[in-house]
Amino acid sequence: MTRRILGIDLGTTYSLVGALVNGEPTLFPNANGALLTPSAIGVDHDGQMLTGEAARSLALTAPDRAVRFFKRDMGTLRKHRLGDRDFTPVELSALVLGALKRDAEEALGQPMLEAVITVPAYFGDAQRQATRDAGALAGLQVHRVLNEPTAAALAYGLHQRHREMRCVVLDLGGGTFDVTVLEIIEGVIEIASSAGDARLGGEDFTDALAEKITARVQTEHSSCELQGPLMRARLREACELAKRRLGAEPTTRLVLPNVPAGRGEIDVDIEVTREDLERASLPLLSRMRVPIERALRDAKMPTSKIDEVLMVGGATRMRSVVELAGTTFGRLPLRSLPADEPVAHGAAIQAALIADDAAVDDLVVTDVAPFSLGIATAERLGGTYVPGIFTPILERGTVLPASRSRTFSTIADDQTRILVEVYQGEHASVADNERLGELEVTGLPRAPAGAMGLEVRFSYDLDGILEVDASYDGKPTAAQVVIQNRKGKLDPLALERARAALQKLKIHPRETLPNRTALARADALHVELTGGARQHLAEAMRYFRAALETQDPKIIEQVRGQLIAVMDRLR
């Protein structure tokens, strides 16, 4: 049996899974036949867990029974309530990964136990570890947590391996924005710098438009109630559809029927223009410029030296984002791959590299540290020491794997102990950075202050594992620690308990998920329609429910197709 390792793009809004098949990255469809699986989890009235499109549609009609955008909470202790229990972001991500794993197994006809999972380049240590834990909960051995822009570069590099070029990857997904500067030289993809914003994505553009529409509606209809969970979900969905349409058309109409207003209801029907979206987006576009400028500065590469601009992520379809790239770099972006797919393609290529697939044996990829790593120190100012100073040892942008060291001195006479506190970040004060762990060095020989030198060495690899060594007087290592006990990390016992709890959940069977998805989509659309269109959809739904009662797969598939066709016409 051919050894295959999955490449997974675990996205904020949508996720994809693929592998290298016959030398080409191949993406696998979900149970509904789509390559994009919404990163959404829900629970239906029977207590069965729903994933993907069924859960996303459920969020529009019952927002208290479905959750989305939980990737933004990875690495935190936040919990989301679904049904009668709370779920962590790690558990919710594991349910999405489990669904992707089953889709790949269905397509390949073999068990899949290994994976490469992508993360935003600007994800910190805790978020990367949470991603690994989610993979483990889903039954996957995660070989590599790969930066999304690096994955996109691999996807383009596979087809451009004999070309020399300097590129900038602008990766604007649903929840994060990354910028990576890189060079491709004869199959070697060398990352020069990465920067980004882990809380800026396409969903923020939708929220900005929703705020603008809310203010406009309430100005015209002061009694309108748009703040409840259901109305907010409906409004966001309408704004998301409007945002997509405005990519191709200068104007569109936003329709919200049956909006609560005073003691009754009104139908909201307003025109939304591309200019409305662009004005709402101005603060977000300004935020995008900051990491672009930082990445170019770190790479010491002016825009005049950039040969190609690669646009990755569904949100880069927005015209304002394309125009931002064009004005910044003075050229149109390269779009030879669908915006949603390069990251998953690149993950599949990285997985093939790990599996020693001969089809990619001439590709080499390097990566860089997205954050600076250092320790807490004290600095003498006048006659006193000021503690809490962040002193970097391994700077951001360092090519990985890497090993760097610095020597520090004691600050007190006869000091026999030093506590080395390890931090990640860019701020001058450790209080503003993230604490990763600590290393205690004891048994130092007594000496005057400043006479004892302690060498602290950081060794950091492509998997994000940091090893810290401390030694003095040229002796072998006095103390060593591998930073693994990170915030939010599941220890083996907690991992096993969480896996057992997830296995007890009633996961909706894959073979019936298309039926549940079709009904959930239809129900969400039924809420938005009125008049004859609503009656037409209701009739199609009744026919489909009757077909389900027959339990005849051929009849069910035929009538489901008819229902989907009706929805596509009415949408």
Flag the least confident range among 22-36, 274-288, 545-559.
545-559
Among 44, 53, 71, 91, the active-site one is 71
Catalytic residue among 9, 44, 183, 357: 9
For residues 149-167, give the mean pLDDT. 83
Tell me whether residue 426 is in a domain. Answer: yes
Does residue 450 lie in a domain region?
A: yes
d(CA 563, CA 571): 12
Q: Are 322 and 311 contacting, i.e. CB atoms less than 8 angstroms apart? A: yes
* pLDDT average, residue stretch 327-334: 90
Residues 378 and 449 in one domain: yes
Active-site residue (options: 73, 103, 125, 148): 148
Are 394 and 455 within one domain?
yes
Is the pLDDT at 187 greater than 80? The verdict is no
* pLDDT score, position 485: 43
Same domain for 467 and 387? yes
Domain boundaries, position 560: 510-570
Tokens 């603060």 correspond to 283
**Beta-bridge partner residues of 67:** 41
Same domain, residue pair 459 and 384 = yes
Task: Summarize pLDDT for 9-59 with one digit per residue, the tens.
Answer: 999 999 999 999 998 999 999 999 999 999 999 998 888 899 999 999 999
Q: Do 466 and 561 have their domain in common?
A: no
Residue 246 covered by a domain: yes
Residue 196, Cβ density class (10 Å: 0-12 exposed, 13-18 middle, ≥19 buried): buried
**Number of domains present in the structure of the chain:** 3
Residue 2: which pLDDT band, with cuts at 50, 70 and 90?
A: low
431 and 385 within one domain: yes
On whether both 380 and 458 belong to a single domain, the answer is yes
Report the CATH number at residue 239. 3.90.640.10
Beta-ladder partners of 97: none
Write down the pTM of the prediction.
Answer: 0.84
Indicate whether 141 belongs to any domain: no
Q: Of 265, 280, 295, which residue constitutes the final position of a domain?
A: 280
What's the CATH code of the domain at 422?
2.60.34.10
Note the pLDDT of residue 474. Answer: 66
Confidence of residue 74 (pLDDT cuts 50, 70, 90): very high
In a domain, 309, yes or no: no
Last residue of a domain, one of 280, 304, 326: 280
Asked if the model's pLDDT at residue 1 lies above 60, the reply is no
Asked if pLDDT for residue 490 goes beyond 70, the answer is: no
264 part of a folded domain: yes
Low-confidence winner among 172-186, 288-302, 318-332, 468-482 (lowest mean pLDDT): 468-482
- Asked, for residue 341, whether it belongs to a domain, the answer is no
Residues 472 and 517 in one domain: no
Question: What's the pLDDT score for residue 218?
Answer: 86
At 246, give phi and psi (nearest 5°).
-70, -10
Whether 200 contacts 288, CB under 8 Å: yes
Tell me: pLDDT of 154 over 70.
yes
pLDDT in tens, 300-330: 999 999 999 999 999 999 999 999 999 999 9
Q: Is 172 a residue whose pLDDT tops 70? A: yes
- Whether residue 291 has pLDDT greater than 90: yes
To the query of whether residue 9 is one of the catalytic residues in this protein, the response is: yes
Q: Are strands 165-172 and 141-147 parallel, antiparallel or unpaired?
A: unpaired
Residue 20 has a pLDDT of 94
Of 390 and 265, the structure prediction assigns the larger pLDDT to 390
Indicate which residue of 73, 125, 133, 171 is catalytic. Answer: 171
Verify that 517 and 461 share a domain, yes or no: no
Q: Is the pLDDT of residue 562 over 90?
A: yes
Q: Compute CA 499 distance to the chain's CA centroid, rounded to the nearest angstrom.
A: 22
Q: What's the mean per-residue pLDDT of the chain? A: 89
Question: Which pair of tokens denotes residue 176?
Answer: 């994060």
Among 476, 496, 520, the domain boundary falls at 476
Question: Among 45-59, 150-164, 342-356, which is the least confidently predicted range?
Answer: 150-164
Residue scoring higher pLDDT (488 or 120): 120
Q: What is the pLDDT of residues 224-280, one digit of tens each?
A: 888 888 889 999 999 999 999 998 899 999 988 888 888 888 888 999 999 999 999
Q: What is the distance between the alpha carbons of residues 155 and 138, in angstroms, rounded to a whole number?
A: 26
Contact indicator for 291, 172 with CB cutoff of 8 Å: no
- Give, rounded to a whole angstrom, the gap between the first and last alpha carbons of the chain: 45
CA angle (21 as vertex; 15, 161 as ends), nearest 5: 90
Please state the separation of Cα 267 from the chain's center in Å: 36
Residue 314 and residue 174 in contact, taking contact as beta carbons nearer than 8 Å? yes
Residue 353 included in any domain: no
**Which pLDDT value is given to residue 199?**
87
155 Cα distance to chain centroid: 18
CA torsion sign for 286, 292, 294, 300 is negative
Q: Which of 185-189, 372-376, 493-497 has the highest mean pLDDT?
A: 372-376
Q: What pLDDT score does 224 carry? A: 84
- Respond yes or no: is residue 148 known to be catalytic: yes
Same domain, 461 and 515: no
